[in-house]
């Protein structure tokens, strides 16, 4: 039976939870470095994004910040790209 596979570069939203914001970021970083499907069923495979631009949201921030290209460091990828009030909020929850 003939088959066709279609792969899209599209919006995909993944939410991770962790004991800290940095742990949550590291879970996402590990996922992106695996370059394997996030989920796989007989008919659907979902991969990490191919586009180097990554948007992220912290808790109920209600607006996405632009990480740009992932550098692999929590401070450079997350803290450097958040509004100051959110950096203060995150800093109050953990030692950074």
Q: Residue ranges per domain, the chain?
A: 21-91
pLDDT for 80 equals 92
DSSP structural state of residue 3: -
Q: Which one, of 54, 71, 42, lies nearest residue 16 by Cα?
A: 54
Q: Which ranges of the chain have pLDDT less than 50?
A: 96
pLDDT for 4 equals 54
């Amino acid at each position: 039976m003939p088959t066709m596979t279609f792969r899209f570069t599209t919006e995909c939203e993944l939410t991770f939870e962790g004991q800290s914001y940095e742990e949550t970021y590291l879970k996402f970083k590990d996922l992106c470095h695996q370059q394997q499907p996030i989920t796989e069923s007989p008919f659907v495979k979902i991969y990490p994004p191919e586009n180097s631009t990554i948007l992220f949201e912290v808790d109920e921030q209600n607006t996405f910040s632009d990480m740009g290209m992932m550098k692999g460091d929590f401070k450079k990828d997350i803290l450097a790209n958040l509004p100051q009030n959110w950096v203060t909020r995150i800093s109050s929850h953990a030692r950074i």
